[in-house]
Amino acid sequence: MQNIGILLPRSTYYNGIAFDMQCGLREGLKKSGADDLRIISENIGFGAEKQPVYRSAEKLLMDDNVEVVLAYVGHRTAQLLRPLFMSANKLLVVLDAGAHLPHEWPVSSNIFYHSLHNSLGAWLAAEWATRDGFKTAGMLTNYFDGGFLHTMAITNGFTHSGGKIGFNIATGYQPVDFSLEALKEHLAAYPDACLLPIFSGDFAEWFFRDIHTLFPDRSLPAYLPPFMLEEQMLKNAVYPGENAKGIAVWSKNLDSEANSEFVAAIKAARREANLFSLLGWEGASLAAHAVHLMNEHNGDARVVAEDLHKFSFLSPRGTITVDAATNNTIAPMYQAKMKDDGSGHSELHITGEAENTLEAWKKIRSLDLGETNSGWFNSYVCN
């Protein structure tokens, strides 16, 4: 029996993140016919401290003799692990929310990235706003979410499409410090502006609550990135009106056999399908194929990487391919609207596949971030 490893995170707002990811990985291996692979897990906390992450990865490689490691870490942490995996001649599959934008896109035969693409979704949402005729927008975020460079994606997606950012609002981090009162003044100055918010978890709930409270007779036009359309969060979110829409990664209601099978498998394992179990499920396909290639090519990671560039597989969100220029997987994304679930709360309604996903990906890859930087090493929603 061969081993694969997974570095699992913690999250304050998604308490079950590690359980969901491991459940998705385990059930995905069964679906891939690779349930003979043994999973060895290590907890890395919020992933913000570099040395514990390095030590956990080193343990998996040296003590547990794993062939492939899946890790919920960002690009910056992955690059710190690069020498370790090159020395071990083993493969690291980075499972990522896609909230950061790297300043460079270094390619290593030992590292592949599988993402939920929050930055790409943010860019596509902003482009959608300009297609709907909006010329001015306000960007809203908070101390945590605003520390990731998907803020660059949503603003540049808007300005590169001919729009202008008229105002910015940064809220506090704690419930007592969270306020959108400034939005009244800004919308008085920019009455034709749309909103480009970036929030996650409880912050997203507070955003929907406050715009509903502040503007009870008005449905504000808001174009949302994927993590603001996360279905488990939406169940507790106040319905903000018919003009809230955006780009979703996935929905449990996507009409496909692959999605029905995934949702049923996770339910049978006594969990609820969500973005994190999806990431683990898809990671299983990558890990199983990578182990097969490692066996076929006698552990030559460079040859394995060349074969992975040609790999594609059907996932619950559609066919996933690999961008050989960056070692990143690319998946379909979906246009979506929020609907009232009948109780005043929200639910997700997919309206169709997003337009120009690959074109937007190429624009993001070539985006000049200048001296823009972030102090966050932790992975998105791991706070």
Quote the number of domains for the chain: 2
Residue 270 inside a domain? The answer is yes
- Shared domain for 243 and 261, answered yes or no, is no
User: Pick from 290, 308, 363, 365: which is nearest to 106 by CA?
Assistant: 365
8 Å CB contact between 158 and 129: yes
pLDDT of 195: 98
pLDDT of 308: 96
pLDDT of 1: 85
- Shared domain for 137 and 35, answered yes or no, is no
Residue 375 inside a domain? The answer is no
Work out the angle at residue 262's Cα, subtended by the Cα atoms of residues 91 and 353, and round it to the nearest 5 degrees: 90
- Token readout for 261 is 């099978």
Sheet containing strand 111-115, strands side by side: 38-43, 3-8, 66-71, 91-96, 111-115, 328-330, 318-323, 313-315
| Alpha-carbon gap, residue 209 to 216, rounded angstroms | 10
106: CATH: 3.40.50.2300
Residue 100's domain comprises: 3-117+254-330
- Shared domain for 213 and 123, answered yes or no, is yes
What is the model's pTM? 0.97
- Shared domain for 141 and 198, answered yes or no, is yes
Other residues' Cβ atoms within 10 Å of the Cβ of residue 302: 11
Taking the chain (383 residues) in consecutive chunks of 10 residues, what is each chunk's mean pLDDT?
95 93 98 94 88 95 97 93 95 95 89 97 98 98 94 97 97 90 97 98 96 94 98 95 97 97 98 97 97 94 93 98 96 97 96 95 92 84 88
| Alpha-carbon gap, residue 277 to 211, rounded angstroms | 30
- Shared domain for 40 and 108, answered yes or no, is yes
- Shared domain for 132 and 237, answered yes or no, is yes
pLDDT of 374: 85
Residue 381 inside a domain? The answer is no
Residue 128 inside a domain? The answer is yes
pLDDT of 44: 94
Residue 89 phi/psi, 5-degree rounding, is 55, 45
Per DSSP, which regions of 153-268 are E strands? 164-171, 194-197, 222-224, 244-248
Q: How far apart are the first and last CA of the chain?
A: 36
pLDDT of 35: 86
- Shared domain for 339 and 199, answered yes or no, is yes
| Alpha-carbon gap, residue 320 to 333, rounded angstroms | 11
Residue 107 inside a domain? The answer is yes
Classify residue 129 as exposed, middle or buried by CB count within 10 Å of its CB (0-12, 13-18, 19+): buried
- Shared domain for 102 and 26, answered yes or no, is yes
- Shared domain for 168 and 299, answered yes or no, is no
- Shared domain for 174 and 78, answered yes or no, is no
Among 287, 306, 330, the domain boundary falls at 330
- Shared domain for 206 and 338, answered yes or no, is yes
Length of the chain: 383
8 Å CB contact between 194 and 245: no
Classify residue 150 as exposed, middle or buried by CB count within 10 Å of its CB (0-12, 13-18, 19+): buried
- Shared domain for 39 and 187, answered yes or no, is no
